[in-house]
Chains A and B, each alone.
Chain A
Amino acid sequence: MARFFIRRLLSLVPTMFIIVTLSFFLIRLAPGGPFARERDLPEAILQNILKRYHMDEPLPKQYLRYLGDVIRWDFGPSLRYRDRSVNEMIDTTLPVSTALGLTALSLAVILGVNVGIVSALKQNKWPDYTAMSVAVVGISVPLFVMGPILQMVFAIWLKWLPPGQWLSDHGLKAIILPAVTLSFPYFAYIARLSRASVLEVLRSDYIRTARAKGLKESVVIVKHVLKGALLPVVTYLGPALSGIVTGSVVVEAVFVVPGLGRPFVQAAINRDYTMIMADVIVYSLLLITANLVVDLVYGLLDPRISYK
């Protein structure tokens, strides 16, 4: 177990190296640059600016300089927002996205798994049909429709919740609408996933054995069915977690949430190279870590898997 863990941790280094290298050169292939404006800059001024950010140097030299900085966890200055370093921007926005993302994902997992189990147990009866209809809506209605509808109903008509903005303006209630909106597609997916796998596990031999032993139905479900049925959900949680935690541009725009998702997309549009790089690195690190955790959880849930 420990050896597996260490080996996985070590493999992180070459993976990250490849990601950093590829992204560094790829983003420079996009036409335009961070200093393109409606009003073109005179050449001399552009040169002044490039010099300031060491962008007048040959690319390999810039790359080595960047690599050196990143190893020290220094993402450099933002090419767009002059007063703040990229580190500062990540430090202020990532916690917001994490709080929102974790709330939404917890909501999705708790509701999704429960709804999935109920649907599976009441297969082809009305609770199943209702739950799966909601799930289809959740998967097919995009966030930019769902968000404004919830906003309209709960903020404008009923005036129960704020239409937008974050904790410092409205306290904890600010998190409700964006979290519910964001959790919808995840909830729907998890519900369908857990329904399918619960159905599958219910038909397996060890469940028949458990029932034959005369165990109570609730014990069969919680102790035996769930353990096996949750595996696909756990697999899905790895990428879902890293995706949701780095922010959703749609939800952040609709509900004015100061998270990481919008700056990420903005950075790509602005060609804010340093900001894009930092976002990619943070996202990759989260993804790799989440996948590692998922693999470890596997071992706990499924006795057939062991790491030696």
Chain B
Amino acid sequence: MKRVLLVMLALLAVAGIVGAQSKGQEIIMNNGAEPQTLDPHHIEGVPEHRIYMALFEGLTTHDPKTSRAVPGVAEKWTFSKDLKTVTFKLRKAVWSDGTPITAKDFVESWIRKLDPKEAAQYADLLYVVEGAEAYNTGKAGPEALKIRAVDDSTFEVKLVGPTPHFPDMVAHYAFAAVPMHAVKKHGLDWVKPGNFVGNGPFLLQEWKPQERLVFVPNPKYWDAKTVKLQKITLLPIDDLSTSYQMYKAGKVDWLDAVPLELMDEIKLRKDYQNAPYYGTYYYIYNVTRKPLDDPKVRKALSMAFDRQALVDKVTKGGQIPAFTFVPASAGFKPPAGLGYNIEQAKKLLAEAGYPDGKGFPTFQILYNTSSGHQRIAAFIQEEWKRNLGITVTLINQEWSTYLDTRSQSHDFDIARAGWIGDYLDPSTFSDMWIIGGTQNDGLYNSKEYTDLIFKARTQSGATRMKTLMQAEDVLIMKDHAIMPIYFYVTNNLIDLSKWGGWYLNPLGSHPWKYIYRK
């Protein structure tokens, strides 16, 4: 009996080592979640975006090093003098079933995206196109939409205002073309293996929900010669420590998230890739509540904790202390911010009528249940107690309840939030705080700020950036309506001595067509 057992164990040992492991030009990546859908008009998350980059290609796509727009289906584009009309010249490309991609595909696709009956979540990103908002909100028909196919290879878009960053925007999946012929034929099932038609560098071969997605090269892709990977497997594992174990066991080649509690160990690894991410972790002040309605109080709170210590000792992932809301990008240099200055903070608090924190009412920090957010809030709570003599309590709610409290009932004093840019332009951040903005959960109500943002929408180039910087100055230096905490970073595990064509970039967007095994 004992001998039989030993033999069985030995056999298992050999089998275990063989297991599922990638070979040659194959890559296995943990995508972190089961995709909500593969239909580009209905996706909204990072895991879905990664799938989009394999299966589809928009008018433009991301440069793997800079995250800026590079030609995709559009070979080139020209702006009219007033920067309000863009003309895209499409290259000769086909869908994976051989049907040519024409300008008409984009017209029909954008009409579908904005169709109120289609009920697409990210439709408002297209509101920069003339007539898009009216059509999407049911005030007009599709004919109001000012887009047209001049001929098969010329696609013309009229915009609400000058939008020089429009080519960057159309790299976003909200602006994708979908194969309308397949959509009409299969309805909701057009994204399933067998029915699937795409125009990206890869094709959908297999989709086992909760298990894996498998992609293989698309031979009809216009740039098929660049594509080197022969197979991509995406796993939907949401448990970070399990996925890290699998990475260590060699069953996964690339992770885009790592378990925070093992950060000290992971940071020492050679295959740990850390880079700034175009996003901000911040606290929202409810500016309608006393004493947070006083800018002096808001500034005092923001100046009275050590962000550097927070990122070094609490978050540990190489995050960058943030003193402004909009991260720096080409042409956009944010103001210096308020800095870390306890003396100044105390002075401001005294001016606001609370010397040494005396008489300061107790208030709450709201965050969604997670040990990471909890640790950050506890750190800030302690700093405020020590530096300002102010007592705050922490309150956590599970995700949906928290969103409801934050965005619907606005029943909070200070709430945690985070935002990652949709595209590489300051407007993806600064648009949030206009009066009545959908993400303006702290009810910041500044006409000055809103006017500046609207002014920027009529400008271009350096002038526009200057106006946006002015707006940021109002938001941070004058009103301090929100409290920036740190700029996000991406934490990937991928061995770059084995994999090529993978670069660190601000949007954390890694187009599959360039990735290859060395």
Contacts and interface: CB of A to CB of B under 8 A. Distances in A.
Interface stretch (B176-184, B327-335, B374-382, B397-405): B397-405
Interface in A163-198: 163-166, 168-170, 173
A33 B211 contact: no
B367 to A, nearest CB: 13
**Helix, strand, loop or mixed for chain A's interface?**
loop
Interface size classification for chain B: 35 or more
Contact of A93 (B17, B138, B210): B210
Contacts of B9: 160
Interface stretch (B220-228, B241-249, B358-366, B501-509): B241-249
B400 A269 contact: yes
Most buried by B among A84, A152, A263: A84
Nearest to B44: A37
A210 to B, nearest CB: 32
A36 B251 CA distance: 35
Question: Which of A39, A52, A269 has most B Cβ within 10 Å?
Answer: A39
B401 A31 contact: yes
Nearest to A271: B400
Give the interface centre of A38, A52, A269 by most chain B CB atoms within 10 Å: A38
A48 B124 contact: no
A48 B418 contact: no
Contacts of B402: 32
B233 to A, nearest CB: 10
A11 B289 CA distance: 55
A276 B121 CA distance: 22
Contact of B16 (A30, A83, A159, A270): A159
Contact of B119 (A45, A254, A271): A45
A40 B407 CA distance: 7
Contacts of A263: 210
B334 to A, nearest CB: 22
Contact of B37 (A30, A81, A159, A254): A81
Nearest to A50: B119
A83 B188 contact: yes
B438 A42 contact: yes
A161 B407 contact: no
Contacts of B120: 45
Contacts of A92: 208-210
Interface string A22-46: 0000000011110111111110110
Given A42-B438, A82-B188, A83-B37, A163 B117 contact: no
A173 B20 contact: no
Contacts of A271: 400
B171 interface: no
Contact of B418 (A38, A93, A165): A38
Contacts of B137: 42, 44
A253 interface: yes
B245 A163 contact: yes
A45 B123 contact: yes
Interface string A237-257: 000000000000000011110
A44 B191 CA distance: 27
A232 B110 CA distance: 64
B17 A159 contact: yes
Interface in B401-424: 401-405, 407-408, 417-419
Given A30-B400, A160-B9, A269-B399, A49 B19 contact: no
A32 B242 contact: no
A40 B16 contact: no
A199 B294 CA distance: 73
A254 B417 CA distance: 28
A82 B238 contact: no
A31 B39 contact: no
A52 B119 contact: yes
A31 to B, nearest CB: 4
A53 to B, nearest CB: 8
A156 interface: yes
A80 interface: yes
A122 interface: no
A138 interface: no
A49 B242 contact: no
B37 A82 contact: yes
A116 interface: no
**From B17, B19, B245, residue with most partner A Cβ within 10 Å:** B19
A229 B20 CA distance: 46
Contacts of A228: none
Contacts of A160: 9, 12-13, 16
Interface of A: 30-33, 35-42, 44-45, 48-49, 51-52, 80-84, 89, 92-93, 148, 151-152, 155-156, 158-166, 168-170, 173, 253-256, 258-259, 262-263, 269-271
Given A37-B121, A83-B38, A269-B398, 7 more contacts: A30-B401, A35-B121, A36-B404, A36-B407, A44-B136, A45-B124, A159-B249
29 contacts: A36-B408, A38-B403, A38-B417, A44-B137, A44-B138, A45-B120, A45-B121, A45-B124, A48-B118, A48-B119, A81-B36, A81-B37, A83-B39, A152-B245, A155-B16, A159-B17, A161-B12, A162-B16, A165-B20, A170-B19, A170-B20, A254-B242, A255-B242, A256-B237, A256-B239, A256-B242, A263-B210, A269-B399, A270-B400
